[in-house]
Amino acid sequence: MPRVSHFATLLIAVTASAWAQQPPKLEPLPEPPPPPPGMELDQEQEPQVTIVKKGEDTVEEYRVNGQLYMIKVTPPNGPSYYLYDDVGQGDFTRRSSQDSGLRVPKWVIKRW
């Protein structure tokens, strides 16, 4: 029993000292500088999302540079699932939000 009371006393002392400390006067951060010239946002790299209603399902198609790479299907009952084109050949594989498999990045460095 004495160990419990010592622990409780120590816990109360630590929490009380943490609450008693007043934060220093904080000043607002300055505005960030604008980006340097030539660093504008490239709209081609942003995915284009098309939302279509097919039957009762909501289908979201994601494209980059006009190429379809992912489809999200949201049924009215049940969780959403995704169809991915891993290779870029038009063959889609299904993945759910509960899939925890390892995915290796496949970035496009250069296209001819």
Tell me the chain's radius of gyration from C-alpha atoms.
Answer: 26
CB atoms within 10 A of CB 63: 13
- The whole-angstrom separation of Cα 77 and Cα 64 is 29
Buried b / exposed e over 31-50, threshold 16 CB at 10 Å, is eeeeeeeeeeeeeeeeeeee
pTM of the model: 0.50
Q: Which tops the pLDDT comparison, 14 or 90?
A: 90
First-to-last C-alpha distance (Å) of the chain = 76
The CATH-assigned architecture of domain 45-96 is Single Sheet (2.20)
Is a pLDDT exceeding 70 seen at residue 2?
no
Mean pLDDT calculated for residue range 52-67: 90
- The whole-angstrom separation of Cα 51 and Cα 73 is 10
